[in-house]
Amino acid sequence: MSDASTDDDQPEADPLSAGAYLRDQREKAGLTVEDLALRVATDPRLGVFERLAWIRAIEADVAPLQPHNAAALLGAIRLDLAEVAHLMALARDRQPTWVGFDPATGAGSMA
């Protein structure tokens, strides 16, 4: 009997989260979280520390990556919007809905 396994024997991996996708794209661009926070423009305008907390919360999947978040990030980093939409749909199917996120504290509430 062979101990070698095939792809068919492996359990299916969990889909990549939107936060992990953002972190992966940021790292591929050679940017730190701080670099991205300095490059991204938000409306209303957030301070650098608020943007840092916001990006870290998204990358940690503490706060969801929403369409308006992705649009703000697009000015600073390359994202595949079809992939982002797919990952956001997967997240909606798996997790409760976030009612709010406070970038200053990293806190949010779930409905």
List the helix and strand counts (H, then E) for the chain.
5, 2
Read off the amino acid at residue 49.
F
DSSP string spanning 67-104? HHHHHHHHTTS---HHHHHHHHHHHHHHSPPEEEEETT
Region 9-37 average pLDDT: 81
pLDDT digits (tens, 9 = 90+) for 32-53: 999 999 999 887 888 999 999 9
pLDDT digits (tens, 9 = 90+) for 80-97: 888 888 888 877 776 545
Indicate if the pLDDT at residue 16 is higher than 90: no
Closest to 91 (Cα-Cα) out of 13, 14, 17, 12: 17
